[in-house]
């Protein structure tokens, strides 16, 4: 088992250094009005650990609900943060901009606010607004192929992060769907040295992240 100190370091790396949405895209497409889904996401930037390279074991769990035919709300608890005695929450809303037609993908945009804090003082709280956009294609009736970008702003020592991503979501049973996603996190930031030491940087920038998501319906 990974020691608590290592988990703390990995969490800080994910939240403070990249802070670019340590989870799969939620949702890829808006849900039907009135429907609710339980979601979970595991993964993060690839980092060196002992003699291997592993993704940060960053875990979120939450809910999605179809509020209108073209709008879905989301909320997540950042479980790893909670296990380390900190607060990590996010909430947002996604909107369908275009429906799929021919070669035109379905386009979904999302606004989200990420909130992180320790339990010592509210003055330590940090908020990170995030806007994302993705295009998706429905293939074979139950598989989505998608691509897009996350855009996040850090207010303290203002920094803008952009993170391109691509992934797939597919059904494995009547009630369960899996999601696999690859993300170039903070692609506009030089990260070849320091904490990441170039292990998952692409051309000296950002960090490659891998994620697995689960969507459960009933």
Structural domains for the chain: 4-216 (2.40.160)
Specify the higher pLDDT residue, 202 or 71. Answer: 71
* Mean pLDDT calculated for residue range 140-145: 94
Q: Provide, rounded to the nearest whole percent, the portion of the chain with pLDDT above 70.
A: 85
Q: Name the residue with higher pLDDT: 157 or 61.
A: 61
Residues 175, 216 contacting (CB under 8 angstroms): yes
Beta bridge partners of 67: none
Question: Which of 206 and 123 is assigned the larger pLDDT?
Answer: 206
Q: What confidence tens digit (pLDDT) does each residue in 151-169 have?
A: 998 777 778 889 999 999 9
At 60 the pLDDT is 94
User: Which pLDDT belongs to residue 193?
Assistant: 61
Q: At residue 20, does pLDDT exceed 80?
A: no
Average pLDDT, the chain: 85
Q: What is the mean pLDDT of residues 23-30?
A: 95
The model's pTM is: 0.87
95-141 pLDDT per residue, tens: 999 999 999 999 999 999 998 887 776 767 888 899 999 999 999 98
């Amino acid at each position: 088992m990974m020691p608590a100190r290592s988990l703390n370091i990995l969490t800080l790396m994910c939240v403070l250094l990249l802070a670019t949405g340590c989870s799969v895209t939620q949702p890829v497409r808006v849900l039907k009005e009135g429907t609710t889904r339980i979601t979970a996401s595991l993964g993060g930037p690839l980092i060196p650990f002992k003699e291997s390279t592993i993704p940060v074991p960053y875990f979120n769990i939450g809910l999605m609900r179809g509020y209108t035919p073209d709008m879905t709300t989301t909320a997540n608890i950042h479980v790893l943060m909670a296990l380390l005695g900190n607060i990590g929450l996010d909430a947002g809303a996604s909107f369908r901009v275009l429906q799929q037609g021919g070669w035109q993908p379905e386009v979904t945009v999302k606004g989200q606010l990420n909130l992180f804090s320790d339990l010592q003082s509210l003055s330590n709280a940090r908020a990170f607004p995030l806007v994302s956009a993705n295009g998706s294609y429905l293939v074979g009736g139950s598989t989505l192929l998608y691509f897009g970008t996350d855009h996040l702003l850090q207010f303290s020592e203002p920094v803008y992060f952009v993170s391109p991503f691509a992934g797939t979501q597919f059904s494995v049973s009547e009630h369960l769907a899996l999601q696999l996603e690859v993300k170039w996190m903070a692609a506009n930031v030089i990260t070849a040295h320091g904490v990441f030491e170039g292990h998952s940087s692409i051309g000296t920038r950002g960090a490659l992240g891998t994620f697995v998501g689960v969507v459960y319906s009933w």
